[in-house]
């Protein structure tokens, strides 16, 4: 990049965007090492106190574990159901296909708050007590359409004659699914799982309505904002989560690209 490019309007635009996006994250990380309970400049000094205190915050850690378990289970279920739906939509022409597609994509356009209230009413009517399980059901519902879209776009991107070829070579339908369709969708399926996990991990609105006595991380964090003294702990936890989820996003994007190059090559 030459000196000229640094002065161009395009570069300023980019720099402004990057600043707005990343400066808060950077501040978060900086303050997590700051030796003060208030988040103001100038910085007081370097400390690892918040990280050690975090380790002892039992309730908070419980919320983290809840969110991790919930995220993994809900995403796994959503990934399995969403993948099945994607295969159905991409490969079979059945009556009511469009209706099925529309219905299963609904959660994408319904505001989460509305969805949360609706599910709350449903569970109340059915007499199901609220718990992490009900939150899990909510998260599965939220994630299915995204999984479906990610996997279906992969299925649409590869030639159906690959599956015909497998059957032509003697494989049964299930054998074809196991040896061709699923391996070729594997990067997309994993990437769908990871994106479900991230959604589930920081989901607040639906969780807020459906949660029982336990807490997920976002709900716990929100409840702690009333106590200013605990702010540095929250900042520290946020910093850790930020770094971890960045790593996850980069990994899943890398997976998606690996998947794309293998397809492109196969159909060249």
Q: What are phi and psi of 4, to 5 degrees?
A: -55, -45
* Euclidean distance between CA atoms 37 and 48, whole angstroms: 13
Q: Pick the piece of the chain touching other proteins (CB under 8 A) from 17-25, 58-66, 159-167, 205-213.
A: 159-167
CB of 167 to other proteins, least distance (A): 5
245 to 264: interface string for other proteins, x by CB under 8 A: -----------------xxx
* Euclidean distance between CA atoms 80 and 140, whole angstroms: 10
Closest CA to 67 of 137, 142, 136: 136
CB of 191 to other proteins, least distance (A): 16
Nearer residue to other proteins within complex by CB, 162 or 242: 162
Burial class (CB in 10 A: 0-12, 13-18, 19+), 225: exposed
∠ CA 56-57-62 to the nearest 5 degrees? 115
Are the C-beta atoms of residues 67 and 211 closer than 8 Å to each other?
no
Structure-token pair, residue 188: 């997309």
CB of 17 to other proteins, least distance (A): 36
Q: Check binding of 161 to other proteins (CB under 8 A).
A: yes
177 to 216: interface string for other proteins, x by CB under 8 A: --xx--xx--------------------------------
Q: Pick the piece of the chain touching other proteins (CB under 8 A) from 11-19, 153-161, 218-226, 238-246.
A: 153-161
Helix 182-202, helix 231-266: angle, nearest 10: 160
Are the C-beta atoms of residues 249 and 198 closer than 8 Å to each other?
yes
Q: Check binding of 165 to other proteins (CB under 8 A).
A: yes
Nearer residue to other proteins within complex by CB, 44 or 179: 179
Given candidates 129, 212, 228, 266, which one binds other proteins under the rule CB under 8 A?
Answer: 266
CB of 74 to other proteins, least distance (A): 28
* Euclidean distance between CA atoms 204 and 195, whole angstroms: 16
Q: Check binding of 156 to other proteins (CB under 8 A).
A: no
Nearer residue to other proteins within complex by CB, 120 or 162: 162
Q: Where are the alpha helices (DSSP H) in 158-230?
A: 161-168, 173-176, 182-202, 205-210, 217-224
Nearer residue to other proteins within complex by CB, 87 or 237: 87
Q: Pick the piece of the chain touching other proteins (CB under 8 A) from 112-120, 145-153, 162-170, 193-201.
A: 162-170
Q: Name the one residue in this structure whose structure tokens are 């109340």.
A: 124
Structure-token pair, residue 251: 């990994």
> Applying CB under 8 A, which residues contact other proteins?
93, 158-159, 161-162, 164-172, 175, 179-180, 183-184, 262-268
């Amino acid at each position: 990049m030459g000196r000229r490019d640094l002065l161009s309007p395009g570069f300023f635009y980019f720099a402004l965007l990057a600043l707005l996006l990343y400066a808060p994250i950077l501040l978060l990380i900086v303050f997590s090492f700051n030796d003060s309970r208030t988040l103001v400049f100038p910085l007081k000094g370097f400390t690892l106190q918040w990280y050690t205190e975090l380790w002892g915050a039992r309730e908070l850690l419980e919320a983290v574990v809840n969110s991790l378990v919930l995220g993994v289970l809900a995403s796994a279920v959503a990934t399995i159901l969403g993948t099945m739906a994607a295969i159905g939509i991409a490969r079979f022409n059945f009556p009511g296909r469009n209706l099925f597609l529309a219905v299963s994509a609904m959660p994408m356009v319904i505001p989460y708050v509305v969805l949360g209230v609706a599910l709350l009413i449903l569970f109340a009517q059915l007499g199901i007590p609220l718990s992490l399980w009900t939150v899990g059901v909510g998260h599965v519902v939220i994630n299915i359409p995204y999984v479906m879209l990610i996997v279906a776009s992969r299925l649409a991107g590869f030639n159906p004659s690959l599956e015909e070829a497998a059957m032509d070579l003697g494989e049964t339908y299930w054998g074809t699914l196991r040896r061709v369709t699923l391996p070729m969708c594997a990067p997309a399926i994993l990437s769908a799982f990871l994106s479900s996990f991230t959604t589930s991990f920081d989901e607040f609105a639906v969780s807020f309505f459906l949660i029982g006595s336990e807490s997920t991380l976002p709900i716990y964090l929100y409840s702690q904002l009333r106590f200013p003294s605990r702010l540095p702990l929250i900042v520290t936890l946020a910093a850790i989560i930020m770094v971890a989820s960045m790593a996850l996003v980069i990994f899943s994007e890398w997976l998606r690209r690996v998947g794309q190059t293998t397809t492109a090559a196969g159909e060249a």
